Chain A
């Protein structure tokens, strides 16, 4: 073929067959290895540090001490819970970008009830009221865009996104009112600790961990084994098929978003009572957006979500640890974790496709083998 003027294209992308599990694992392992090598080069040449000690410090970010591990778990469940909340909406192909706002609204209502009714209501009733109001407001926050989508087919991505800003403004306003003359809000009911979660095994947020653990199982079963879950799958796959099967599509959209929003509202409640004992515009802290990645990468399986959330938290903690241990600025640490994340996400492409280069004779033979 050397006498041809026109040459074969330099590289072609060919879809792979269903790759076996061993292939999945080996591609991912290679991706992590590649990430570590790339990072080592970066660390060695740019920062002049020893890559191995940097990796060790990174590892310590999560596993260094029992307290560190416990903090990591606390942050993991926050991320995971929002991921769980997004799962039914995403499975329905309803792109709920508004978890941040739904969490904030849940937190806000919890905080308001805690401050204004804390002394008036008996303990158990107070928790119940905080729980119900936060769930209700989260559900409403999710229901509004769903209603417009079901009725007039508005774009839910923009709608839910905008609702975040509304929620943030509400919280900012409430914080200003609550702090009064003080320079900052501080912890709510600091003196009485009314409405705070009791300590369980030494930490208030252990209740959060417990609740999320239960919800992980519940959501998994809800999506997989219930009639609602089936309807969500059908609507997500094809609205026409859903109508054909006699499913009321608008109703399913609204119901599912109410559930999604309600779980976000619950997350706000857990954050205020169990973690922060206060409210601010940073209560959700961007978890509402990070959770989108978690839910998406896990393909809406809540158990995979736990794994992905762990990876993200591990990287985040590790980056923080590197930054403080070596006096690196945050950006250097972000590059290190960014490379790891990039390689892992990028490996997805090589699981689904392979490249054939011009010179490679094997490519052609490979094709023949089929």
Chain B
């Protein structure tokens, strides 16, 4: 096989962090290569060096057998390398055609009609759907991604790098993207996909290269690979890939959400007329394409969102779930806390909302308890003890409990946050994307913690994006679409396709709730 790109002994460090260490990797012509690795294993850094975003500290890059220096994305384009980043680089107020034209060389004639014609040819060739007059701000995530791919192909890329392309797509959109990628392979292009989803690796690629902690572990032919083999290579040891799902023990109602609606400051109705109940001893999953109201829903329940009048969130404290209910709406988090409502919330933005990045574990433990007591001065002792305890019990890796948490790895940051929220002995535990960006081991540790809470009778609300996990972990799954409850399904019987469809297609009279 001929090599399109060949990396030899690439090393890249950021300060003391070694992102890539002596990595050598070949990308063949006309193949789909998956680059697999956990978060922080250096996948993106490695390919950013091919795309000209970073420059390696040492090592060599060969394109089509010739040694090259890639100093900027421009150099990369000239070598026929194009990268589609996780965060799209498009101009919102421009149309599709105009965005494609942005990449033209200064010497080329600026002729939008010509650009459009050529782009249309690319679309026909690989079977993309694209409305070239549509403005980017009116596009869905998957359309934007398509546009990025067309843009790169337009500039004549033969080697395409896609950084976690499926993270934001529904199962149906993913299948469509894979078909396009196969068409490109048939045309002789090389495609590299960065991912950490095993089943996708198996579905699409010809070969899989694995990185672990910045080092190259090996490459296997996809046809010889299995999920457990890949996991073992990725993690470095055998991992049990089953998520436990105990049967709920006499569930009692903890939260009752009725007619909840939220309008954003921009006047967009992000949640309309939400109704559901959450039961102690159950895990309620919330699925949906991101940005369909998940964030607002949890924040509204936590007292961080202004909701429209008429909405109510009732909290039942008593043992049997009957008794007097407490209204949560209209209270801020401190008032909720002081009213004796035991609700914990692990927000999506861990360092931007759940924690203070510049403070150590102790300071972050204080966040929820600092105002207790009448004294003017802070009580530093009990937060310190709590920090020590969490560090021990959850095996948080940190140089010390006073090291700023922003310097910890993503998994440890999440352990600190979840640890604090569980330490409050909650009756309701809400989590938003609790395992996003975490490695497999930490993810499973988090699932375990959630299951422990469930067994204690806590009502767990789990907002997630990975449908496989949602279907394996949750007792019920509520699907949000366009700010509405588009259906609530049983986690044990529902299928991926069913949930995927609910995520994208608003049901007739979709607000039904059994």
Interface residues of A (CB under 8 A from B): 1, 4, 6-9, 12, 14-18, 225-231, 233-234, 237-238, 240-241, 243-248, 363-365, 367-368, 370
- Decide: A16 and B15 in contact? CB cutoff 8 A: yes
Against A, the Cβ 8 Å flags (1 = close, 0 = not) of B318-352 are 00000000000000111111000000010101011
Chain A to chain B: the 6 pairs with minimum beta-carbon distance, closest first: A246-B334, A367-B57, A246-B333, A17-B16, A17-B15, A240-B353
Q: A7, A227, A245: which has the most chain B beta carbons within 10 Å?
A: A245
Provide the residues of chain B in CB contact with A9, threshold 8 Å.
55, 71
Residues from chain A with a CB closer than 8 A to the CB of B358 are 233, 237
B200 within 8 A of A: no
Q: Are B370 and A227 in contact (CB under 8 A)?
A: yes
Residue pair A246, B353 in contact (C-beta under 8 Å): no
In whole angstroms, what is the CA distance A7 to B55 when docked? 12
Q: Is the CB of B332 within 8 A of A246?
A: yes
B138 within 8 A of A: no
B324 to chain A, nearest CB (A): 23
Complex contacts, A246 vs chain B, CB 8 Å: 303, 332-337, 368, 371
The reply to whether A240 and B57 contact each other, CB–CB distance below 8 Å, is no
A229 to B368, CA, bound (A): 15
Point out the residue from A1, A237, A370 that lies within 8 Å of B356, measured CB to CB: A237
Q: How far is the CB of B184 from chain A (nearest CB, A)?
A: 28
Q: A6-B71, A237-B358 are in contact. Are A225 and B378 (CB under 8 A)?
A: yes
| Contact for A4 among B69, B304, B355, CB less than 8 A | B69
B410 near A: Cβ within 8 Å?
Answer: no
Q: Are A245 and B368 in contact (CB under 8 A)?
A: yes
- A240 and B371 contact, CB distance less than 8 A: no
Residue numbers in A under 8 Å from B134 (CB-CB): none
Tell me the minimal C-beta distance from A200 to chain B in angstroms: 30
CA distance A12 to B69 in the complex (A): 14
Are A227's CB and B367's CB within 8 A?
no
B15 lies within 8 A of A367 (CB): no
* A347 CB → nearest B CB, Å: 19
Contact yes or no, A230 B378, CB < 8 A: yes
Interface pair B18/A370, CB less than 8 Å apart? yes
Are B353 and A238 in contact, CB atoms less than 8 angstroms apart? Answer: yes
In the bound complex, do residue A6 and residue B333 qualify as a contact, i.e. CB atoms below 8 Å apart? no
- List the A side residues contacting B57 at CB < 8 Å: 363-364, 367-368
B510 interfacial contact with A, CB 8 Å: no
Q: Would you call B452 an interface residue if the criterion is a C-beta within 8 Å of the partner chain's C-beta atoms?
A: no
Residue among A18, A248, A363, A367 with max Cβ neighbours from chain B (10 Å)? A367
Which chain A positions have C-beta within 8 A of B355? Answer: 241
Q: How far is the CA of A15 from the CA of B378 in the complex (A)?
A: 36
Q: Judge whether A230 and B366 touch: CB under 8 Å.
A: yes
CB pairs A–B below 8 angstroms (27 shown): A1-B67, A4-B68, A6-B68, A8-B55, A8-B71, A12-B55, A15-B15, A18-B16, A227-B370, A227-B378, A229-B378, A230-B370, A233-B363, A240-B352, A240-B353, A241-B355, A243-B333, A244-B333, A245-B368, A246-B336, A246-B337, A247-B334, A248-B332, A367-B57, A370-B11, A370-B17, A370-B21
- Write the chain A residue with the least CB distance to B350: A241
When chains A and B are docked, how far (Å) is the Cα of A325 from the Cα of B484? 79
Shortest CB distance A231–B (Å) = 8
Which B residues are CB-close (under 8 A) to A370? 11, 13, 16-18, 21
Nearest A residue to B334, CB-CB: A246
Given the interface contacts A226-B378, A246-B335, A364-B58, does A241 sit within 8 Å of B15 by beta carbon?
no
Which chain A residues lie closer than 8 Å to B68 at the CB level?
Answer: 4, 6
How far is it, in angstroms, between the C-alpha of A227 and the C-alpha of B379 when the chains are bound?
9
Q: How far is the CB of A72 from chain B (nearest CB, A)?
A: 35
Q: Can you name 15 extra interface pairs (CB under 8 A) apart from A9-B55, A15-B14, A370-B13?
A: A4-B69, A6-B75, A18-B16, A225-B380, A230-B366, A233-B356, A233-B358, A238-B357, A240-B353, A241-B355, A244-B302, A244-B347, A245-B333, A246-B335, A368-B11
> Which residues of chain B are near A8, meaning CB under 8 Å?
55, 69, 71
For the complex, what is the distance from the CA of A16 to the CA of B58, rounded to whole Å? 17
Bound complex: CA A4 to CA B11 (Å) = 20
Q: How distant is the Cα of A94 from the Cα of B332 in the complex, in angstroms?
A: 23
Task: Write out, one digit per residue, whether chain B residues 259-286 have a CB within 8 A of any chain A CB (1) or not (0).
Answer: 0000000000000000000000000000
User: Is B247 part of the binding interface, using a Cβ–Cβ cutoff of 8 Å?
Assistant: no
Q: Is B3 an interface residue (CB 8 A)?
A: no
* Interface mask (B42-84 → A, CB under 8 Å = 1, otherwise 0): 0000000000000101100000000111010001000000000
Cα A226 to Cα B373 in complex, Å, equals 12
Least CB separation from B58: chain A residue: A364
Is B411 part of the binding interface, using a Cβ–Cβ cutoff of 8 Å?
no
